[in-house]
Structures are given as structure tokens and as C-alpha cells.
Amino acid sequence: MNNSAASELPEGTGEVPLHRKIAWAARELWEKFGRPEGRDRELWLAARRIVCGGSSWRRTATSVHGGRR
């Protein structure tokens, strides 16, 4: 997947408020990792890093899974 956070968001999100972009990314991560309970803060922070350009989906997957895939 592309490392650019903007290209990983759905089309038409250019004018969407930052909070909503983070919420979308957090939901995607939550779904991707099997809807884990009790990890909402961790996934929100990971999503924020992705949306703000400090991380990619691949690096986030590694950090959320503790280095496992």
C-alpha cells in the first residue's frame, strides 16, 4: 500500500475535518485487526499518526501487533 496517508483515505476526503479522517482510519484499523476490545486509544493514536503523515499502514500494523503479522 502507498505510504501517503492522503492516498489511503477514501476519495473525496480532502475537505473532511481532521477528526473525521482520524475516526475513519481508526475504524479501518479496528476492522483490520479483528475488532479488538479495549484498544480504542491505541488504534486512535495509530490512526492519527497515519492521517497526519507520521506513519504508514504497514508500520502501524507492525506496531499494533507488537512486531507480529
Question: Given its phi and psi angles, is residue 14 left (phi above 0), alpha (psi -120 to 50 degrees) or beta?
Answer: alpha
Locus of grid cell 484499523? 29
SS (HEC) of 14-48: CCCCHHHHHHHHHHHHHHHCCCCCCCHHHHHHHHH
pLDDT of residue 37: 96
pLDDT 10s digits, 11-68 = 665 678 999 999 999 999 999 999 999 999 999 999 999 999 876 666 666 566 665 4
Threshold 0.75, pTM exceeds:
no
Question: What's the domain range around 29?
Answer: 18-64
SS3 of residue 68 by DSSP = coil
Residue 7 is assigned to a structural domain of this protein: no
Residue 69 is assigned to a structural domain of this protein: no
Q: How confident is the model at residue 3 (pLDDT cuts 50, 70, 90)?
A: very low
Residue 1 is assigned to a structural domain of this protein: no
Residue 49 is assigned to a structural domain of this protein: yes
pLDDT of residue 6: 47
**Number of domains present in the structure of the chain:** 1
Alpha carbon distance 43, 28 (integer Å): 9
